[in-house]
Structure 1
């Protein structure tokens, strides 16, 4: 069958219209979610086509059950990301016959019984890779591995402990990930394990465990010892009544290390394991294979071995009627109706997942390898299919909570807003479980349902107290799904829901020094945000909603507003003082604890903190998270991912260095000032110069051109650093200036960099800067630049200059794959300080 294909430009233009002119949302959709084959052929023109694909496939499953939802009903739920939003893997994989991949976002793996032999460790490594190649993230626990120094019955005589195996699993992730396109890894360990301190420190060493997130499973006994200042016993095996190894430690000292490392590097995360197990509904069936052992990489789904999560989010903003007005209300009836349908859709996706697994098994059987090679992969997917169908676990969550609260005139982080958020989650939990009970009546309960096993579970008892009839029906009919709920990070899908939530994308014609902004010009949107002053810079992602708030409150969108008037409007907006740095962090933790009571899995929330917060604050947040019932906690202090690693050589990394292969924190709103490096070089006897703006030590923008043209960008030879400053002239036109400090300590400014470079160079620089700004790995940006086919010799010289400047930021040791050393012809080239070095023969090439 010949299917119609579209060029990237065709799909991008159609999606740009769909998203109301939002270029980032359009690019994300085309690159990540549009149906395409292995050759890059695109088969969907816009999200409309994708939503019809999803609706068609789910309707096919619905027809197998009583009272089926129609394709039209389903499309209306999905259309414009308005109500129900399947996440990542389901959105990509449902109805996709071009890929043989799972619909599950993440998995947990682990072997039964004693599993610390090399054979077991290697088996887990293989299973991890097999899952990651199908696009899945993986979590597994290391608490079963013997501590360092333990006797072993092989030639080594003693065990190496946890850390070498952390590196092994991390390296496997980096290998299969192919520059970040696939796979993510969570490694966990019990605080009771004697090597837990080494586990906690492992990621603080340069080049170690860079392919994994790490979390510590902390029990109540340890936390109580921290608070009381008493000792705590570590042992191996960690859960044994007769451990072979025991030692007492100072709990406070180990806790201080956890806090310091979290403050310094944003890891480890903490998992409050006793809370997780006590609240876990699936652990009522622990002896039947549903014992929770670890979490997925983002931490929102604690899982038993070989179970997985499929995610779906409900767009809360869409249930606000008369948003931003005094008459704003939340449509609870429609919300509950849609939650029930969402749970039903998630159950349908389980059947679609089972079909996908069958195709994976068929693919394995058709592979040319021997049965010996294929058997382990086949057995892995057979275990996953069994667990998937036995428990029918789902992950219904939410998105746009902040926008919902603002539209209802609540300020995020206040007690009033928290009360309402808890009410929303309570109603969601009741509606989802009600739907699961109804499906049990129509379709049958999950295979091992037993109400007697669940009668003392705290979460089930909360449902019983809130809705006694629901509980009676559950006992009578059972439940279709062993667990239903989560709150996961919505990632790139949130970019798409922001611009399509029934909000007309209008842009306020703000005037600063009487300069009119063209609302049809994409760049004008950035100008518009800039011109509203510092008070509004925090709210760039909400500009569509801010306009809606103005419109709803009777403000004239065609009026010429002064800067002072805009500042006053911002302070009246419900988004004012509601950013991550404005919200009371303790209040956010308590809010998470209150909402957690109505989520049967967990909540993935990172507390974002400014750079100058103390370790004491992180300590307070973690302890409060435990006290108020959170199942886990993670913090991120601004800039903490850079400059924290200890060198493996004699020299320590400088504080402003950055591991530019690590996923960056996206800073879509350009700060006014950026630290900058100056890179000077010579091409064909011409002197060139590059200015590289940095955020957290990582390239954020790059401008390159001739250093000795008529305009003259002449800098003293010793100048290698400075700042790139965004400024406006007397006519309101935007410019970029470069400021540096001379030998005498005076600040010198070169104004109008944008006017000193060839316009063609400048435009290409904007393109490359946009790619850098949204986090493409540096080595991939270099490949992108290398692959650009440009006509003129001068612009190719510019291209070489950009490539040379960016190579400086590749971490030492980065491999250049696919190219051989011209001297020894071995594929052993790595980057060192921007130069290519052959690790085999020592040949080098710079520039």
Structure 2
């Protein structure tokens, strides 16, 4: 592997210097600048930054791509590659390739995502521990990981150990989830997808696992649904689950009501946006790599966002093409799409992706060399070494690529189409069909120069539906593929582009614009000259509010001679939006069925899958969610995710914030200030240092009303059995007239068990502080402010401080996702733009996350 930029005399930049230089590069877009500096600028483990702007990064990438090109006929030059990738205009390597290509300071993979295998893996503890270790080893090298749990025997199955029967799926979901949360990756958490077949007898437990507060928070979960199950839902016929799944001679079978289980899936998705659904027969039937299933390419799960179904130990690297850049004269009557340039660039993108596989193989060799050099024994290193050998084999043998797109929403707007309309959908399908044909054509031409992927066999693929569509669309391409083969086993995807779209300054992936205009705040000194104070927060800090225009909406304004620097009223903004091509074309505006049909139609030209979300308003029914899922199956989608507004809060807010705050005030539930006699209660366990603690959180309408926390008495179980997670707190009176709080729960036989006098179980000082904090909850102080209040308490007693930290940690779980953490700064980039996400503080600028 070639090492670059290692000279001790190489120019370095401070964080501020790199930020200011990239701020100028991004024309004042501070969010794009901070994301680039924190996530993608070349830096060493001491924090030295070696790139001042993305131009430096693109030159680094171009140099490495050109080095690989020289190995093959008709190589592209460094300057040619640079012109294709510079300014994020045309071709954009995503995530791991962007950060890792030519990076000598980090021994990490260039793959964005991996699937590890249950192919031949037993469900013994040894097999499960092996999977757990493989997951961690990949995450520490920047990879997102997916794996399937369908091979684990169902709950109650006999086992030949001291337990006698299996615990089933859920405990292992927790194990894998916790491992993900433990792996810090430069300030961010790992990404994990857990899946299970609907055919598995524990699938209902899997579906319900994340509905419990604080459970399986480190993983996305999806259910693999087969066509037989969907037909049973439609017909009302029973459905048979079995273990092993799909076995001709199963050890266990169970007949279930498919409609009832379907209702559970729909309800949970409506309530929490999970589980996602994978239409598994569609995935398997359409998958080109599954033509080689007997050679180890049987698809078993997907990456964390669902856009890359993979076989065990395969991986994929991602690249996006910026569709907006091919719109000539955007937002005018002369707007058109430059298909000739687009076709040319798709071919270049596929070639660059193939070069990146060579670079990945070098990275894997470096990882293997690092493992060999590590001082641990061969026994300790065995799993990690074999993992990377397996990944190397798949990358070398199949040479899988992941070409995708970004800016679909902006492309359509620039051409004058409204996202979601029939004409817009038709044009999108034309674009994606073009990508498929030109990428496959480029893979065939590359095979002619460089040779096909090692196991290519046209006879195996002749009946594959995707290959047959290519043949029908372009027979010349098909017969060229028969003659020369193809360089890559599978080529295409549509991934969420996240931070990539921040740097391309476009809409993300295939999605429409989220909001064309939104509002942000910056803190100001009210005594400064010419400062405008629009908002004073609860601690007295002054803030100026300002509008942020989506970049292409602002471009539309400029093209049409509209002043983008004016301070518009809400009424004026509403009128502007109505005049624009983004009107009725935001995430929450687009017709839901239209989006499903768009996804299904585009999926016909994507050989992997598509990451797309159907956004629904809060008041939609569960029945509608079920209808959308059914339509997605019928339309040929490989997977679908539905997000109902409020089920998991987003980050951006509408510019019409005053109206939103008024509605929030009107909708706020009125907590009784006098405590009800009985409260439903969550039980939360956690560790402070090495001590085990427990919290009882009384709830009204699912929101904390009171909290009592103290040391858990694990020695004799006097406080509570470990399996209890819910119950009721009942306020009673002692014989002397004083009040007491009893906790009641149902034991495993369903009988009620009561622990009397929680107040006597905890330290009296803990109890008194708990009552004080509970009073703030009862008067509906927002949970994030209660957490801030607790953190600000100045307490001399060390044990009380430990208690204080525990209370804050327990309550953070109930802070709504997307809540801004005011008055705090990111420890990684010093940004004040922090928000709560699953009880953790996450920085909107650099993406770092801090839990606990």
Length-normalised TM-score, structure 2: 0.75
Q: Is structure 2 residue 243 aligned with structure 1 residue 181?
A: no
Unaligned runs of at least 5 residues, structure 1: 502-507, 509-520, 528-536, 659-673, 686-691, 705-762, 785-808, 816-847
What is the aligned partner in structure 2 of residue 335 from structure 1?
342
What is the aligned partner in structure 2 of residue 707 from structure 1?
none
CA distance in 2, matches of 1:525, 1:480: 60
What is the aligned partner in structure 2 of residue 841 from structure 1?
none
Offset, 1:114: 5.3
CA distance in 1, matches of 2:50, 2:417: 42
Q: Is structure 2 residue 254 aligned with structure 1 residue 247?
A: yes
- Do the aligned partners of 2:407 and 2:506 also contact (CA within 8 Å) in 1? no
Provide the secondary structure at the position in 1 that maps to 2:117. coil
Note closer, same or farther for the CA distance 1:475–1:541 as it changes in structure 2 (3 Å cut): farther
What is the aligned partner in structure 1 of residue 386 from structure 2?
379
Aligned partner of 2:833 among 763, 771, 784: 771
CA distance in 2, matches of 1:19, 1:775: 28
What is the aligned partner in structure 2 of residue 320 from structure 1?
327
Map Cα deviations across residues 87-144 of structure 1 (whole Å, 9 max, x no partner): 0000000000100000001100114335111211111111111111111111011111
CA distance in 1, matches of 2:121, 2:109: 29
Offset, 1:648: 4.2
Quick check: 540-549 or 102-111, which moved more? 540-549
CA distance in 2, matches of 1:161, 1:558: 60
Note closer, same or farther for the CA distance 1:126–1:437 as it changes in structure 2 (3 Å cut): same
What is the aligned partner in structure 1 of residue 140 from structure 2?
133
Q: Is structure 2 residue 264 aligned with structure 1 residue 257?
A: yes
Matches within 5 A, 1:194-273: 194-273=201-280
- Do the aligned partners of 2:118 and 2:148 also contact (CA within 8 Å) in 1? no
Matches within 5 A, 1:122-521: 122-177=129-184, 181-498=188-505
- Do the aligned partners of 1:206 and 1:646 also contact (CA within 8 Å) in 2? no
Provide the secondary structure at the position in 2 that maps to 1:274. helix
Map Cα deviations across residues 207-262 of structure 1 (whole Å, 9 max, x no partner): 32111111000000000100111110000010210111001000000000001111
Matches within 5 A, 1:27-42: 27-42=34-49
Q: Is structure 2 residue 107 aligned with structure 1 residue 100?
A: yes
Offset, 1:157: 1.5
Offset, 1:696: 3.3
What is the aligned partner in structure 1 of residue 822 from structure 2?
702
- Do the aligned partners of 2:817 and 2:837 also contact (CA within 8 Å) in 1? no
What is the aligned partner in structure 1 of residue 553 from structure 2?
546
Offset, 1:653: 4.7
Provide the secondary structure at the position in 1 that maps to 2:224. strand
CA distance in 2, matches of 1:261, 1:524: 45
Unaligned runs of at least 5 residues, structure 2: 1-6, 509-515, 517-528, 536-544, 650-668, 670-679, 685-695, 705-781, 796-811
Offset, 1:675: 9.7
What is the aligned partner in structure 2 of residue 533 from structure 1?
none
Offset, 1:655: 4.8
CA distance in 2, matches of 1:780, 1:563: 30
Matches within 5 A, 1:763-842: 770-773=832-835, 778=840
Map Cα deviations across residues 293-319 of structure 1 (whole Å, 9 max, x no partner): 000011000000000010000000000
Offset, 1:556: 6.3
What is the aligned partner in structure 1 of residue 762 from structure 2?
none
Aligned partner of 2:52 among 45, 51, 68: 45
CA distance in 1, matches of 2:842, 2:321: 34
What is the aligned partner in structure 2 of residue 627 from structure 1?
634
Map Cα deviations across residues 477-521 of structure 1 (whole Å, 9 max, x no partner): 0000000000000011111101799xxxxxx9xxxxxxxxxxxx9
- Do the aligned partners of 2:299 and 2:311 also contact (CA within 8 Å) in 1? yes
- Do the aligned partners of 1:225 and 1:231 also contact (CA within 8 Å) in 2? yes
What is the aligned partner in structure 2 of residue 647 from structure 1?
682
- Do the aligned partners of 1:393 and 1:482 also contact (CA within 8 Å) in 2? yes
Note closer, same or farther for the CA distance 1:648–1:345 as it changes in structure 2 (3 Å cut): same
Offset, 1:27: 0.4
What is the aligned-residue RMSD (CA, Å)?
3.4
Provide the secondary structure at the position in 1 that maps to 2:210. helix
Note closer, same or farther for the CA distance 1:556–1:370 as it changes in structure 2 (3 Å cut): closer
- Do the aligned partners of 1:22 and 1:499 also contact (CA within 8 Å) in 2? no
Provide the secondary structure at the position in 1 that maps to 2:550. helix
- Do the aligned partners of 2:329 and 2:335 also contact (CA within 8 Å) in 1? yes
CA distance in 2, matches of 1:522, 1:452: 74
Offset, 1:152: 1.4
- Do the aligned partners of 2:147 and 2:193 also contact (CA within 8 Å) in 1? yes
- Do the aligned partners of 2:818 and 2:835 also contact (CA within 8 Å) in 1? no
Offset, 1:551: 3.1
Aligned partner of 1:6 among 13, 23, 32: 13
CA distance in 2, matches of 1:417, 1:236: 45
Offset, 1:177: 3.2
CA distance in 2, matches of 1:458, 1:646: 53
Map Cα deviations across residues 324-345 of structure 1 (whole Å, 9 max, x no partner): 0011000000001000000000
Note closer, same or farther for the CA distance 1:135–1:401 as it changes in structure 2 (3 Å cut): same
- Do the aligned partners of 1:108 and 1:138 also contact (CA within 8 Å) in 2? yes
CA distance in 1, matches of 2:836, 2:108: 27
CA distance in 2, matches of 1:264, 1:620: 16
> Aligned pair count?
680
Note closer, same or farther for the CA distance 1:568–1:143 as it changes in structure 2 (3 Å cut): same
CA distance in 1, matches of 2:549, 2:435: 25
Provide the secondary structure at the position in 2 that maps to 1:428. helix
What is the aligned partner in structure 2 of residue 833 from structure 1?
none
Q: Is structure 2 residue 690 aligned with structure 1 residue 570?
A: no
Map Cα deviations across residues 273-312 of structure 1 (whole Å, 9 max, x no partner): 0000000000000000100000001100000000001000
CA distance in 1, matches of 2:555, 2:229: 50
Offset, 1:82: 0.2
CA distance in 1, matches of 2:638, 2:81: 34
CA distance in 1, matches of 2:481, 2:699: 58
Note closer, same or farther for the CA distance 1:253–1:564 as it changes in structure 2 (3 Å cut): closer
CA distance in 2, matches of 1:252, 1:776: 31
What is the aligned partner in structure 1 of residue 643 from structure 2?
636
CA distance in 2, matches of 1:78, 1:563: 38
Provide the secondary structure at the position in 2 that maps to 1:647. strand
What is the aligned partner in structure 2 of residue 82 from structure 1?
89
Note closer, same or farther for the CA distance 1:384–1:566 as it changes in structure 2 (3 Å cut): closer
Offset, 1:5: 0.7
Note closer, same or farther for the CA distance 1:497–1:653 as it changes in structure 2 (3 Å cut): farther
- Do the aligned partners of 1:205 and 1:646 also contact (CA within 8 Å) in 2? no
- Do the aligned partners of 2:836 and 2:842 also contact (CA within 8 Å) in 1? no
Length-normalised TM-score, structure 1: 0.75
Quick check: 329-338 or 103-112, which moved more? 103-112
Quick check: 474-483 or 613-622, which moved more? 613-622
Aligned partner of 1:604 among 603, 611, 631: 611
CA distance in 2, matches of 1:214, 1:646: 26
